[in-house]
Amino acid sequence: MHKMYNTSVCSSMFSPNALQSIMSSCTLKNQRLRIGHRTKVPRNVNMEKLQHGYLFPEIQRHQLMHLEKYPHANVIDLGIGDTTEPLSTIVTSSMVDFVHGLSTEKGYKGYGPEQGEKALRKEIADTIYKDLGIKPSEVFVSDGAQCDISRLQLLMGPNLKIFVPDPSFPAYIDSSVIIGQAGEFVYETGKYKNIEYMTCGPQTNFFPDLHTASRADIIFFCSPNNPTGHAATRKQLEQLVDFAKENGSIIIFDSAYSAYITDDSPKSIFEISGAREVAIEVSSFSKFAGFTGVRLGWTVVPEELSYSNGFPVVHDFNRIMCTCFNGASNIAQAGGLACLSPEGLKAVQSHVDNYMDNARILVDALTSVGLKVYGGKNAPYAWVHFPGSNSWDVFAEILEKTHMITVPGSGFGPGGEEYIRISAFGQRDSIIEASERFQCLV
């Protein structure tokens, strides 16, 4: 199939058609609105620098357009990576009890601590970070990792240099643009001027070549990586911590997919000696426990982590959580606590295993049609190579030919060009159907 695509030097996230359609709709809208009153408030220059809509809503837009064209198509969504398995009754009955309680004098709860319920902070420290020495007071419960990334950007402010693996989860770069760290977008490279993009491809075992990397204040790092599915090895993470230490950088480590690791790759940056002095970890119940709609996550900020003036980062993050956030929903927190009970963990693990079985089915199918597939072993994402192709073109052709939604790799940065991310979240019958549809790509 990949031979069907022309090599393209376009590094934009959008096909020219999509870009044109977005631009003309903006122009129309502006023209219409220019008739009325206009404020004298200048548009935020940082917002102006954003190059396109946020990736996943954009993909959803394409899906809707496809459904308009083919109203009866049975579209299979291997795109956004949304959990599909019903929650275990162990988890829901715990939330049901909590909600029932809210209608009683004894069980009603108002504001909880902005940092999260004590019991949940302790359980995250004791269960997720067992034997890693994380204190409950270092755990901040939130409404999800993506929201915490923005709050971490608010914490850090506009004057820092950030380092992102390329490709990686788009929220790192987009939130950096919004806070004002990114500088100008350079169309020729598809990169923002002040952001250090470190290519993570098969040539470097999906890890940045740190020998060629210049210093950054903040190093975003996600393991298992979204989108490549690569889980960094212990040795790689040791190199990363050493690099951060030598450069005086702070690692923001995103472990949202750690539950999917099947080999002995570290599940937390805090498994690496010295990480407490250089790293923050962001994580989530979304993919771990199917809480994508329930909304629950957490961030760990170790006490030892300090700014150049010695001031502890955890104090400022606490202030951000108290001022810009007001605690995660107490119902979601009750559910999160149930997930971390021994029975809850078993139920959660069975969902993770199920999605990883899906991943194996998809990887086998993709491999059988001659495609080079990465990932799918420690993460529910297959990262499929279409050498010489433009990934938005591949996305469009897969959609047109098979009615399946995927994610174009360039949506995760210029390093994702020529790749497509395929999500293994889905019900088994859909996954089997998808693996059959891939046969027509031969």
3: which residues sit within 8 A by CB, 6+ positions away? none
Q: Which of 36, 212, 263, 264 binds a second copy (CB under 8 A)?
A: 36
In the bound complex, what is the minimum distance in angstroms from residue 327's beta carbon to a second copy?
A: 7
Main-chain phi, psi angles of 220, to 5 degrees: -80, 135
383: which residues sit within 8 A by CB, 6+ positions away? 227, 228, 229, 230, 373, 374, 375, 376, 409, 419, 420, 421, 422
50: which residues sit within 8 A by CB, 6+ positions away? 174, 177, 178
219/164 Cα distance (integer angstroms): 6
- Closer to a second copy by CB, 206 or 317: give it: 317
Q: In the stretch 300-339, what mask flags binding to a second copy with x, by CB under 8 A?
A: ---xxxxxxxxxx--xx--xx-xxxxxxxxxxx-------
In the bound complex, what is the minimum distance in angstroms from residue 224's beta carbon to a second copy?
A: 19
Q: In the stretch 337-366, what mask flags binding to a second copy with x, by CB under 8 A?
A: ------------------------------
293/81 Cα distance (integer angstroms): 12
How many C-beta atoms surround the C-beta of residue 21 within 10 A?
14
Q: Which of 17, 24, 44, 349 binds a second copy (CB under 8 A)?
A: 44
Q: In the stretch 220-239, what mask flags binding to a second copy with x, by CB under 8 A?
A: --------------------
The DSSP secondary structure of 48-117, one letter per residue, reads: HH--SS-HHHHHHHHHHHHHHHSTT---EE-SS----SPPPHHHHHHHHHHHHHHTSTTT------TT--
Binding status of residue 248 toward a second copy by CB under 8 A:
yes
- Closer to a second copy by CB, 44 or 189: give it: 44
Rounded to whole angstroms, what are the CA distances from 441 to 115, 358, 400, 405? 49, 19, 11, 14
Amino acid 324 reads: C
Q: Which of 80, 119, 213, 432 binds a second copy (CB under 8 A)?
A: 80
252/160 Cα distance (integer angstroms): 13
- Closer to a second copy by CB, 11 or 247: give it: 247
Q: Which of 16, 24, 29, 187 binds a second copy (CB under 8 A)?
A: 29
- Closer to a second copy by CB, 331 or 356: give it: 331
Binding status of residue 217 toward a second copy by CB under 8 A:
yes
Q: In the stretch 86-105, what mask flags binding to a second copy with x, by CB under 8 A?
A: xxxx-xx--xx--xx-xxxx
Binding status of residue 46 toward a second copy by CB under 8 A:
yes
Q: Which stretch binds a second copy (CB under 8 A): 140-148, 357-365, 369-377, 378-386?
A: 140-148
Binding status of residue 214 toward a second copy by CB under 8 A:
no
In the bound complex, what is the minimum distance in angstroms from residue 205's beta carbon to a second copy?
A: 27
- Closer to a second copy by CB, 1 or 53: give it: 53
The pairing of strands 250-254 and 279-284 is parallel
- Closer to a second copy by CB, 118 or 401: give it: 118
Residue 279 tokens, joined = 């790293």
In the bound complex, what is the minimum distance in angstroms from residue 361's beta carbon to a second copy?
A: 19
Residue 381 tokens, joined = 């994402």
In the bound complex, what is the minimum distance in angstroms from residue 146's beta carbon to a second copy?
A: 5
80/383 Cα distance (integer angstroms): 14
Q: Which stretch binds a second copy (CB under 8 A): 203-211, 240-248, 252-260, 405-413?
A: 240-248
Q: Which stretch binds a second copy (CB under 8 A): 111-119, 200-208, 360-368, 381-389?
A: 111-119
In the region spanning residues 359 to 398, those forming contacts with a second copy, defined by CB under 8 A, are: none
Binding status of residue 250 toward a second copy by CB under 8 A:
yes
296/276 Cα distance (integer angstroms): 23
In the region spanning residues 174 to 213, those forming contacts with a second copy, defined by CB under 8 A, are: 174-175, 178-180
- Closer to a second copy by CB, 172 or 395: give it: 172
- b/e per residue 155-190 (b: at least 16 CB within 10 A): bbeeebbbbbbbbbbbbbbbbbbbbbbbeeeeeeeb
Looking at residue 297, the DSSP 8-state letter turns out to be E
- Chain CA centroid to CA 297, Å: 12
Binding status of residue 428 toward a second copy by CB under 8 A:
no
Residue 379 tokens, joined = 């993460």
Q: Which stretch binds a second copy (CB under 8 A): 129-137, 153-161, 370-378, 397-405?
A: 153-161
Q: How many residues bind a second copy (CB under 8 A)?
A: 108
67/61 Cα distance (integer angstroms): 10
Q: Which of 69, 109, 118, 401 binds a second copy (CB under 8 A)?
A: 109
In the region spanning residues 272 to 301, those forming contacts with a second copy, defined by CB under 8 A, are: 274, 277-278, 290, 292-295
